[in-house]
Amino acid sequence: MRASTSSVHGGYNGGVEDIVLVLVIVTALAFDFTNGFHDTANSMAASIATRALRPRAAVAMSALLNLVGAFLSLSVAATIASGLVDAGLISLPVVFAGLAGGITWNLVTWYLGLPSSSSHALIGGVIGATLAAAGSGAVKWDGLVQKVMIPALLSPLVAMLIASIGAFLVHRVTRDVPREGRDRGLRLGQIGAASMMSLAHGTNDAQKTMGVITLALIAHGTLGAGARAPMWVIVSCALALAAGTYCGGWRIIRTLGKGVTDLTPPQGLAADSSSSATILLASFFGFSLSTTHVASGSVIGSGLGTPGSVVRWGVARRMFVAWVMTLPAAGLVGAGCYGIVNGIGGTAGVLITFLLMVVGCAWLFALSRRAPVTHSNVNEEWAEPAKAAPATGQPATAGQPATAGGHAPTAVVTATGPASSVAPAGPAATGPTLADDPVVAA
């Protein structure tokens, strides 16, 4: 039986409300799709960077395991649906505006190649829209702090510590093993760890959209307060996440796999093992964890724990800034979208906001095509932005990445595509190539 209060329906009735519900569900699945390609890097960036898997094979495996993982738990979905906001005070336009905030921030950070949190983008968007619509009393601040903020602070530190210790131990244990045999064995182990990471991502991230759609169904009156996600919601969210994952968020894969540190097989194994263990534990306890924070912390930790490895703190700093900005930025967009919807009113408000969001997404995609990052160049050597020309008039050169072999690459690409300047010529980079020793063929 449907609820009939205006606080639940937001002033919509009958067939008009059903149209708005359909738009909300479509927007939620669109968010799930962006979540998939935005977060592919979390599970597969290390495996691609160490050449344990070919890029296309990696995203295909990750998509399949994300699909399976979505059916394993519903604890996080329950947190999103009822643990952060008062479902009785939420209307369909609020849910829609929150999703618009999450999608917008996801695409902005994807374009910039920054591995920010899709989870926090969604939560920030929903909370911002809720504050604009119903005030602070509709937000469960205790749940936000306990289920979101505290895990956000602790999870990257825990993952960094575990990965740092793991990378150091792997390095010490295998240092006398011939490199070729060692790396091949570690790559095989890394495939297993990355598979667990993908499965863990499915158990955690697909549930967030399930929770939002469940919240919309509660607001619509189709489900009662406290209801769990129906099977059709679980299946549709799992498919949307898997499809997005298969598309591959190559820009973010490049930043996490090549920009933070130059990952080697021992580091890759440590990073993936640390991430999967942390996320599976969080899913078990129902924490709405950011897989991005965990994966990024693990990659940084693997660099810190490996003697002679270099962490590019400039890249890490940009990631940290994006993390801090995610909740408030997505919240502001969510609140703004609700303001547009409420200002125009009716189904027209939702439709116009939806069209504005589509136009914005298309514009960002068109901009990204100017300097594309694809599976064919995602593993090119990293280069920092070109330095300013010195006062003496000597020409500036592109910043050089510290590679394992100490060589300067002859051509480089940046986080968002091919570099405009070419690094000075030097000896060709050494080490096995993808064609030399692929563990899994595409």
pLDDT of residue 438: 39
One-letter amino acid for residue 91 of the chain: S
Q: Region 331-345: what's the mean pLDDT?
A: 91
Where is average pLDDT lowest: 4-13, 153-162, 377-386, 415-424?
Answer: 415-424
The residue among 162 and 73 whose pLDDT is bigger is 162
Q: What whole-number distance in Å separates Cα of residue 113 and Cα of residue 371?
A: 12
Q: What whole-number distance in Å separates Cα of residue 104 and Cα of residue 16?
A: 26
**pLDDT range class, residue 15, cuts 50, 70, 90:** low
**pLDDT range class, residue 403, cuts 50, 70, 90:** very low
Q: Which residues pair with 85 in a beta bridge?
A: 139
Q: Quick check: 96 and 124 in contact, CB under 8 A?
A: no
Please state the domain extents for the chain: 6-368
Where is average pLDDT lowest: 27-36, 209-218, 387-396, 397-406?
Answer: 397-406
- Residue 338 CB: number of other CB atoms within 10 A? 29
pLDDT tens by residue, 288-300? 667 888 889 999 9
Element (H, E) at 110: helix 92-112
Residue indicated by tokens 């703190």: 313
Q: Is the pLDDT of residue 265 over 70?
A: yes
Q: What whole-number distance in Å separates Cα of residue 292 and Cα of residue 190?
A: 18
**Helices 118-134 and 179-220, axial angle in degrees (round to 10):** 20
Q: What whole-number distance in Å separates Cα of residue 350 and Cα of residue 362?
A: 18
Q: What whole-number distance in Å separates Cα of residue 232 and Cα of residue 224?
A: 17
Q: Is the pLDDT of residue 412 over 80?
A: no
Q: What whole-number distance in Å separates Cα of residue 33 and Cα of residue 204?
A: 15
Q: Quick check: 249 and 38 in contact, CB under 8 A?
A: yes
pTM value is 0.76
The residue among 43 and 409 whose pLDDT is bigger is 43
Q: Region 221-229: what's the mean pLDDT?
A: 78
Q: What whole-number distance in Å separates Cα of residue 159 and Cα of residue 213?
A: 30
Longest Cα separation, the chain: 78
The residue among 89 and 24 whose pLDDT is bigger is 24
Contacts of 363 (CB under 8 A, 6+ apart): none
Q: Quick check: 346 and 16 in contact, CB under 8 A?
A: yes
Burial 265-274 (b: 16+ CB within 10 A, else e): bbbbbbbbbb
Q: Which residues pair with 382 in a beta bridge?
A: 413
Q: Is the pLDDT of residue 397 over 70?
A: no
Nearest Cα neighbor of 260 from 435, 106, 46, 60 is 46
CA atoms within 13 A on the CB side of 365: 8
Q: Region 12-41: what's the mean pLDDT?
A: 84
pLDDT tens by residue, 32-48? 999 888 888 888 898 99
∠ CA 54-421-314 to the nearest 5 degrees? 70
One-letter amino acid for residue 421 of the chain: S
Q: Quick check: 31 and 101 in contact, CB under 8 A?
A: no
Q: What whole-number distance in Å separates Cα of residue 73 and Cα of residue 316?
A: 32
Q: Is the pLDDT of residue 1 over 80?
A: no
Contacts of 418 (CB under 8 A, 6+ apart): 371, 377
Mean pLDDT (the chain, rounded): 78
